[in-house]
Amino acid sequence: MLVEGEPGTLTGRPLRLYADGIFDLFHFGHAKALQQCKEAYPNTYLLVGCCSDEITHKLKGRTVMTDKERYESLRHCKWVDEVVEDAPWVISDEFLEKHNIDYVCHDALPYSDTSGEAAEGDVYARIKAMGKFLETRRTDGISTSDLIIRIVAEYDTFIRRNLQRGYTGKEMNVPFMKETSIKLDMAVDKIKQHFSNLFARKPERFQQRQSV
């Protein structure tokens, strides 16, 4: 017969860990951070809080994905046991008690509080002071901001690709003149490719015509 051990051990109750964030354009950096949380102890239950559009747009800025899309992305991550929708910007004692949270997981960098709720200026400062903070590590080279920068840097390329796939300039919020210019470039490229293909199939025919 197994004797119940310490929380987080295989013979004890699962440690209830909590991680929160925006999780826009959910990527492997997010997943690896959540994996660190889930695997911090042999026996854990990982709750992941995700902030709503309303509070995120107000305090951080617009997101690419809606809150419903961000919630659903988290539900399909293998490390997540439960998604807490409309998560608070600053974690309160009441929230910790309601969800029976043992530790809060995040990287150690101070996270600026734009809501004004955290007197220390770091939304996790009080959690750290309580001894309930579990540090995770960021994954270098990947972030939501990095992904957005890549898209912006290749703006015309992605507009062209989506026009080719049947999207309209209006759907992409592209000005009419910009859409027309890109479509004209696409038409010219298509003509160039057509003649290039003809020449590749019958180069001697074109050479004979040029020598006449």
Q: Which pLDDT band, with edges at 50, 70 and 90, does 22 fall under?
A: very high
Identify whether residues 54 and 124 lie together within a single domain: yes
Quick one: pLDDT at residue 116? 72
Residue ending a domain, choose from 141, 170, 186: 141
CA distance 87 to 23: 12
Quick one: pLDDT at residue 193? 78
Contact residues for 41 (Cβ-Cβ < 8 A; gap 6+): 8, 9, 15, 17
**Which tokens go with 212?**
């006449």
| Residue 210 neighbours by CB distance under 10 Å | 7
Query: Is the predicted pLDDT of residue 109 greater than 80, yes or no?
Result: yes
Quick one: pLDDT at residue 24? 98
Query: Is the predicted pLDDT of residue 204 greater than 70, yes or no?
Result: no
The DSSP 8-state label assigned to residue 13 in this structure reads P
Give pLDDT tens digits for 156-172: 898 889 999 999 999 99
Q: Which pLDDT band, with edges at 50, 70 and 90, does 203 fall under?
A: low
Q: Mean pLDDT, the chain, as a whole number? A: 89
Give pLDDT tens digits for 48-82: 999 999 999 999 999 999 999 999 999 999 999 99
- Tell me, yes or no, if the pTM score tops 0.85: no
Identify whether residues 62 and 107 lie together within a single domain: yes
201 domain residue, yes or no: yes
Identify whether residues 179 and 202 lie together within a single domain: yes
Identify whether residues 92 and 173 lie together within a single domain: no
Identify whether residues 172 and 106 lie together within a single domain: no
Mean pLDDT value across residues 120-132: 90
Number of domains in the chain: 2
Name the residue range of residue 177's domain: 154-211
Q: Which pLDDT band, with edges at 50, 70 and 90, does 119 fall under?
A: low
Q: Considering Cα of 173, then 177, then 178, then 184, what sign does the dihedral take? A: positive
9 domain residue, yes or no: no
191 domain residue, yes or no: yes
Identify whether residues 162 and 136 lie together within a single domain: no
Residue 106 main-chain phi, psi, to 5 deg: -170, 165
- Among 101-110, 132-141, 144-153, 177-186, the range scoring the smallest mean pLDDT is 177-186
Q: Are 190 and 163 in contact (CB under 8 A)?
A: no
Identify whether residues 47 and 127 lie together within a single domain: yes
Report the first-to-last Cα separation within the chain, whole angstroms. 98
Q: Which pLDDT band, with edges at 50, 70 and 90, does 189 fall under?
A: confident
**CATH number of domain containing 20:** 3.40.50.620
Q: Is 114 exposed, middle or buried (0-12, 13-18, 19+ CB in 10 A)?
A: middle
**Which tokens go with 172?**
């992409």
Identify whether residues 164 and 136 lie together within a single domain: no
